[in-house]
Amino acid sequence: MSRSLQLGEKTAFLPLLVANLFPLAGIAFLEWHPEEVLFVYWLEIGSFVVLYSGLVLFAKRESRPADRNIDPLSFSLPFVNARETPIQPFDRVPAVYPRNVRYAIGLFVWGLVFWWCLAVLMVLMPARATLELSASGEGVPIGDVVSIIGNAFSPAILVNACLLFVSQLVTIRREFFGRRRHERLSAATIAELPIRVILFWFLLTIFAQLVFPLLLWPIALVFDTATVTEVGVSTLVIAGKLTIEWATRESQWSGESSGIARFFTPENPHSSE
């Protein structure tokens, strides 16, 4: 890669980095609480799933499940999948391929289910001090969950969530449509990236519930347990978010990445070229 191209990549990454670090500035200068920052990131993950569910529709190459070790969950719609002719409603918008609808629906449903599960790590755990578990041991009443999510909304939170959403749109426009990667990738390949991101968050949630409390236990003996949990979970989530942004940027869909970036690289992204 040329020096000028590398410089352009770093410059293009700056807005995305600023958008992701803005919640930390909210803690330092806007008197945000850590749980508000986690709520912003939770909303951003939901928008990430929705955006990629739409992006899947534009994949030009046909998916070949038989040639893949990992095939994303899909839902077949006979009347839609049977249509082979692409649809292009506007001249400036790439064609949409009906055969990709099954992957778009699968990613949307699967992704939002796990996104809701992530509320345990990013919404409920920081607010644990304000929750009362049901006497039957069945967990937190759904009414309390909805109440916590509703109370987390504020104008500043919505502005930050919109900023992250716009940064995602800019990245997708540049990386996929600007470089015409949607013409070189299949729907299954594009759907694999958000699945890997959600899987990372899911594993991080398990770590936060089973291992992280043991690591924080010595500190909780000295400081207030609620404060330790709030700061600890916030640090874990922010570190995870920055890791995802760096790793997905490093992978660049090349298939030649290493380390943690390799985890976020779809299986043989250009094998069908």
DSSP for 68-91, please give it. Answer: -S--------HHHHT--S-B-SST
- The residue written with tokens 């013409």 in the block is 183
* Residue 12: domain span: 3-263
- Highest mean pLDDT: which of 14-18, 47-51, 74-78, 87-91? 47-51
Q: Considering the chain, what percentage of its residues have pLDDT values greater than 90? A: 3
Structural domain includes residue 99: yes
On whether residue 124 sits in a domain, the answer given is yes
Residue 236, domain member (yes or no):
yes
Burial class of residue 82, CB neighbours in 10 A (0-12, 13-18, 19+): exposed
Residue 59, judged by CB atoms within 10 A of its CB (0-12, 13-18, 19+), counts as buried
Residue 270 inside a domain? The answer is no
Is residue 220 in a domain?
yes
Query: pLDDT tens for residues 79-100?
Result: 655 566 778 777 778 888 888 8
- The count of structural domains within the chain is 1
Predicted pLDDT of residue 257: 61
Torsion of CA 7, 12, 16, 21, to 10 degrees: 40
Is residue 28 one of the residues assigned to a domain?
A: yes
Inside any domain, residue 143: yes
Assess if residue 268 is contained within a domain.
no
pLDDT digits (tens, 9 = 90+) for 225-237: 766 766 777 778 7
pLDDT tens digits, residue range 165-193? Answer: 888 888 788 777 777 777 788 888 888 88
133 pLDDT more than 50: no
| Verdict on whether the full-model pTM lies above 0.85 | no
Encode pLDDT of 35-56 as tens digits.
777 788 888 889 989 999 999 9
